Amino acid sequence: MSNDYTASLNSRAELYMSQGRYAEAEPLFKEALEMRKQLLGSEHPDVATSLSDLAKLYSDQGRYAKAEPLFKKALKMRKQLLGSKHPDVANSLSDLAELYRSQGRYAEAEPLYKDALEMSKQLLGSKDPDVATSLNNLALLYKSQGRYAEAEPLFKDALEMSKQLLGSKDPDVATSLNNLALLYKSQGQYAKAEPLLTEALEMRKQLLGSKDPDVAQSLNNLAGLYKSQGRYAEAEPLFKDALEMFKQLLGSKHPDVAQSLNNLAGLYYSQGRYAEAEPLFKKALKMFKQLLGSAHPSVAQSLNNLALLYYSQERYAEAEPLYKEALEMFKQLLGSKHPSVAQSLHNLAGLYYSQGRYAEAEPLYKEALEMRKQLLGSAHPHVASSLNNLALLYYSQGRYAEAEPMYREVLKIRKQLLGSAHPDVANSLSDLAGLYGSQGRYAKAEPLYKEALKMSKQLLGSKHPDVAASLNNMAELYFSQGRYAEAEPLFKEALEMSKQLLGSEHPNVAASLNNMAELYSSQGRYAEAEPLYKEALEMFKQLLGSKHPNVAASLNNLAGLYYSQKRYAEAEPLYKEALEMYKQLLGSKHPDVATSLNNLAELYRSQGRYAEAEPLYKEALEMSKQLLGSKHPSVAQSLNNLALLYRSQGRYAEAEPLFKEAVTILSSQLGQDHPLTQQIQQNYLIFLQQVALKNRQGELSNEWGYSGGTTKKKKKKSKNNKGFGSFNL
């Protein structure tokens, strides 16, 4: 009778555990454990089973420190009681290995998974469902490590074995199809992944009925694939179906429901539907806390997701404490060396980078990079991501010689791991092309941009946000070269594509409007540019609020248009509003603040308001030096602008060394052939000619060929920043 009661306790505990009711399951598992000890003695196979059950509960809750000694005790007990070669011993090895995998302790997990696999083969033969499970487990470990070439044959072996043993229609076959499909998805092999996910979904429906947690999981997986492909309209109903199914089957409060909320929020985030994403992220976070406790990996991941949303909206003050809380939680739960800790460091570094806090960002990027190399090996997608963002930091600081080899290494790693045709490879080609474009190495940039565009179209279809981004990149390269007739149709195509994919009201659409307006402005087509600048400004205000860096950038752009038309009275309040907004949002020391100071100073200089312009130019110059280093192209531009001011005032002795320094910086950083170098060299030559003429004639002409290098464009963010934070599917 007592044995029956113990079995009943276990059954109820397992039910509660499957429902996410961990607080109710725990005392039942403990009671069953104590009862078995009393009835059977402390050394008995059933006691080992109870220890294992309780350990699994703790593991699911992220209470790894409590789970590990129980798993080890169960393993030791089974070896003593059942011998070192027994199916239950193999199960214990797998359980402990899975715990280590969850903690990112891959080097410890691998030999245990291998031992479990070999033991199952010896005991059960080379063809057995448990052997297939062991193959799947080892393959999942390799996938976590980015060892895709090693994972694929194991997943395939497990799939074939399950089919042979269980028939072509079985839940384990569906699981194997899912695993192989998700491997292909990680590799960007979407065409291979989709039929497998679809087959798994249909199989589960036939075997389990249309309402089952595994069916809901398959819906989530297929939706995640569509999301990765930019097929948002197809993904949304699947994510919603999965969410509703989990609610019906498991109740409205369950970890799988919380994860589904996260998934749907992630879709909205990808579409720029931030107002819809935020309450879902918050609801998921609250639910995870209630179900799993305030300190759990899923809670930390939810904090990261919400922080990423705020980061993308440039709500930096709200994002930072969440990123920090997630980082500390991961450290406490998983140890100071774990992939999730590295990801959190990476996220926080990205936040600092976006705020222009480069000195704070760099050590975090480096720490994340080194940690990933140690944990995952030097050839892993996450290592490539860390290298990429560190290269972006160097690029933004004008440290091109340091950035270029990193971008090349990222490209090499991604090709090795993911194949020569993958979305991340296309992104790497674009990043390297962007570096070359900034250096004026247009002949090297253009074929890379073209290759990236072609690859994105082949992989993702001709209509995808990444394709629109590639079109924009190509157009900007042509724009930089003055090839306006070639740039315009690409900008227009990118704009129309963004509207079709993301809706007519989206930040990417507003950015495309800005690009078109800038092209028209540069061509003197002011009447066409102005309504586009205004439309972009209003769209950013509606989508992101009236106080946002993108709103400030749009104000700067519109002011720049008015400046170009000598509509100074209209430009000045916009420049001032942009400057104040940047200071409020980004702090008083930021590259965008320096740019705004330069813009306002240039306006004053053009009006002959020299006394007002000078302190602004000087402040911008000092800020650029502090933030970017004394050898950055932006510093050279600031030197040039201040030199032009002194020239306008006849302060020639003060102007000349500034021109010289600007030319020296640009020649060393960008090379003699870069347009900016040539422009400022031309300024300097005209200056010298005019000084010589003045010395001969006693007067200096007021006519100048170049007015100075102000930057009115909003600094672009690398596409690769999308790697900060992750949504678990």
Strands (E), 188-269: none
**Residue 729 to residue 710: CA distance in whole angstroms:** 45
Question: In this predicted model, what pLDDT tens digit does every residue of 190-232 receive, in sequence order?
Answer: 889 999 999 999 999 999 999 999 999 999 999 999 998 888 9
Question: In this predicted model, what pLDDT tens digit does every residue of 80-124 receive, in sequence order?
Answer: 999 999 999 999 999 999 999 988 889 999 999 999 999 999 999
More confident residue, 62 or 514: 514
Tokens for 316, please give them: 């930096």
Question: In this predicted model, what pLDDT tens digit does every residue of 694-714 receive, in sequence order?
Answer: 888 755 444 332 233 333 333
User: What pLDDT is recorded for position 708?
Assistant: 32
User: What pLDDT is recorded for position 710?
Assistant: 33
By CB neighbour count within 10 A (0-12 exposed, 13-18 middle, 19+ buried), where does 494 fall? Answer: buried
Torsion of CA 587, 588, 589, 590, to 10 degrees: 60
Please compute Rg for the chain using Cα positions.
30
**Residue 235 to residue 723: CA distance in whole angstroms:** 20
By CB neighbour count within 10 A (0-12 exposed, 13-18 middle, 19+ buried), where does 654 fall? Answer: middle
Tokens for 661, please give them: 């320094």
Residue 349 near residue 339, CB atoms below 8 Å: no
Segment among 385-389, 393-397, 509-513, 635-639 with least mean pLDDT: 393-397
Question: In this predicted model, what pLDDT tens digit does every residue of 427-470 receive, in sequence order?
Answer: 999 999 999 998 889 999 999 999 999 999 998 889 999 999 99
Nearest to 333 by CA among 693, 61, 50: 61
Residue 331 near residue 357, CB atoms below 8 Å: no
The residue-averaged pLDDT of 143-153 equals: 91
**Residue 405 to residue 311: CA distance in whole angstroms:** 28
pLDDT at 673 over 80: yes
The residue-averaged pLDDT of 640-649 equals: 95
The residue-averaged pLDDT of 515-527 equals: 96
Question: In this predicted model, what pLDDT tens digit does every residue of 244-295 receive, in sequence order?
Answer: 999 999 899 899 999 999 999 999 998 888 999 999 999 999 999 998 889 8
pTM: 0.82
User: What pLDDT is recorded for position 586?
Assistant: 86
**Angle between the 549-564 and 568-586 helix axes, to the nearest 10 degrees?**
160
User: What pLDDT is recorded for position 195?
Assistant: 98
User: Helix count (H) and strand count (E) of the chain?
Assistant: 33, 0
Categorize the per-residue pLDDT at 489 as very low, low, confident or very high, splitting at 50, 70 and 90: very high
Residue 355 near residue 393, CB atoms below 8 Å: no
Tokens for 621, please give them: 């110059």
By CB neighbour count within 10 A (0-12 exposed, 13-18 middle, 19+ buried), where does 163 fall? Answer: middle
Categorize the per-residue pLDDT at 717 as very low, low, confident or very high, splitting at 50, 70 and 90: very low
Phi-psi category of residue 545: left, alpha or beta, with phi > 0 → left and psi -120 to 50 → alpha: left
pLDDT at 158 over 50: yes
pLDDT at 52 over 90: yes
- Other CB atoms within 10 Å distance of the CB of residue 80: 11
pLDDT at 690 over 50: yes
3-class SS string, 649-701: CCCHHHHHHHHHHHHHHHHHHCCCCCHHHHHHHHHHHHHHHHHHHHHHHCCCC
User: What pLDDT is recorded for position 140?
Assistant: 95
Rounded to the nearest integer, the mean pLDDT of the chain is 91
| DSSP line for 86-153 | -HHHHHHHHHHHHHHHHTT-HHHHHHHHHHHHHHHHHHH-SS-HHHHHHHHHHHHHHHHTT-HHHHHH
Residue 338 near residue 297, CB atoms below 8 Å: no
Phi, psi of 587 (to 5 degrees): 90, 165
pLDDT at 475 over 70: yes
Share of the chain above pLDDT 70, in %: 95
Nearest to 428 by CA among 460, 465, 396, 381: 381
pLDDT at 506 over 70: yes
Question: In this predicted model, what pLDDT tens digit does every residue of 362-378 receive, in sequence order?
Answer: 999 999 999 999 988 89
pLDDT at 543 over 70: yes
Share of the chain above pLDDT 90, in %: 75
- List all residues 6 or more positions away from 12 whose beta carbon is below 8 Å from its beta carbon: 25, 28
Distances (CA, A) of 486 to 135, 298, 443, 455, 608: 53, 48, 15, 20, 38
DSSP designation for 715: P
The residue-averaged pLDDT of 8-26 equals: 90
